[in-house]
Amino acid sequence: MAKNTKLYETVAALIATGKGIIAADESDVTAGKRLQLVHLPNEPDNRRAFRQLLFTAPDIEKFVSGVILFDSSLRNSTTEGMPFPDVLLAKGIIPGIKVDRGTVDLQGFKGEVVTRGLDDLVERFADYYDLGARFAKWRAVYTIGEQTPSAECIEINSIQLARYAQIAQAAGLVPIVEPEVLFTGDHDIAQAEVVTTKVLQHLFATLLRYRVDLGAVILKSSMVLAGEANSEQSTPAEVANATIRTFGISVPPEVGGIVFLSGGQTPKRATENLQAIAALGEQLWPISFSYSRAIEEPVLNVWQGKEENVTEAQKMLLHAVKMNGLAQQGKYDPAKDKKLPS
């Protein structure tokens, strides 16, 4: 199979040293929940104002390589009428698009879900490419429990991810595959490591079986963490060692890169864990971050929906992405960081 060099160039740009991806891809409903944190109604003008604050922040291009958008954001514009993808491209930041349409119950498997959105994906990708997107994201979800995730849940979501990746590459977009092992629950880190390994091994076996070009794929993965309800939380060193062990036996070396989701961690904890992973040294794949809430919530809390707070909120955004850019290189010092919420 011929390699698409443009896809490889996009992967390299997205996983550049000291840079990461902002996942600003919340649905309109989820974006509304974020706005509610600062008591703002879920209205189009508020959603646009927050996105505009993020995308126009000075100097974020020094630490941000790409931004994942939701359909409505990809089609939206600033108050001056400049399309959001053009705002990003003008900064040298690559626009991406979330293409899955959320999860539905996996019938017969209580508590498990499967992701939907394949039906019209060929047509949507053509449209998204014309709008400026050059990479995409599809998320699958796995819950750790006594009987979950089942082999059937892992299998069907792996097939969905593989089919999505095929379609994305054919359309000229780099697929980010996101098999998220949820942070919720009271499982310990050892159980998280077992489940994450199983999920990743099955996913990559499926991607290979469906002839997806792994060099033009980015894995967006959970870190290996004890569940948030477990009284014994993992140290950064424990998280780093378990995560790299998992990747080492699960992720083929030809994969283009790996980015982490924050997955419910506090902003500082996500950054500290990324730092600990980078401190283990160079791996088979470049590794970076693709955070959503861990970057956006501190910004929201400063902004509060007030125009007079925009400059300070943008400074908080710059700080958050700079700290994670340092952590990606193993240069972050948590003791000196007094701004990121713990």
Does the pLDDT value for residue 174 go beyond 90? yes
Residue 339 lies in a domain: no
CATH number reported for the structural domain that contains residue 145 in this entry? 3.20.20.70
If you average pLDDT over residues 291-304, what whole number do you get?
95
Taking only the tens place, the pLDDT of each residue in 17-52 is 999 999 999 988 888 888 988 889 999 999 999 999
Q: What is the dihedral of CA 261, 180, 263, 194, to 10 degrees?
A: -110
If you average pLDDT over residues 306-314, what whole number do you get?
97
Give the residue numbers spanning the domain of 124: 5-331
Residue 200 lies in a domain: yes
Taking only the tens place, the pLDDT of each residue in 190-209 is 999 999 999 999 999 999 99
Residue 220 lies in a domain: yes
d(CA 19, CA 322): 8
Residue 338 lies in a domain: no
Taking only the tens place, the pLDDT of each residue in 85-136 is 999 999 999 999 999 999 999 999 999 999 999 999 999 999 999 999 999 9
The CA-atom distances, in angstroms, between 157 and each of 20, 120, 191, 264, 291 are 26, 18, 20, 22, 22
Residue 341 lies in a domain: no
Residue 342 lies in a domain: no
If you average pLDDT over residues 130-154, what whole number do you get?
97
Does the pLDDT value for residue 57 go beyond 80? yes
Higher pLDDT, 285 or 27: 285
Q: Which residues form the catalytic set? A: 178, 220
Q: Binning pLDDT at 50, 70 and 90, where does residue 2 land?
A: low
Residue ranges with strand state E in the chain: 20-24, 64-69, 94-98, 103-105, 113-115, 135-142, 174-181, 218-221, 257-260, 287-291
Angle at 317 between CA 314 and CA 323, to 5 degrees: 140
What is the total count of domains within the chain? Answer: 1
d(CA 197, CA 189): 12
Contact (CB, 8 A) for 283 and 330 = no
Residue 137 falls in which region: left (phi positive, over 0), alpha (psi -120 to 50) or beta: beta
pLDDT at 1: 53
pLDDT at 39: 86
pLDDT at 251: 98
Average pLDDT, the chain: 96
Residue 246 lies in a domain: yes
Residue 60 lies in a domain: yes
If you average pLDDT over residues 171-178, what whole number do you get?
98
d(CA 324, CA 294): 10
d(CA 236, CA 215): 29
If you average pLDDT over residues 81-88, what whole number do you get?
98
Taking only the tens place, the pLDDT of each residue in 213-263 is 999 999 999 999 999 999 888 999 999 999 999 999 999 999 999 999 998
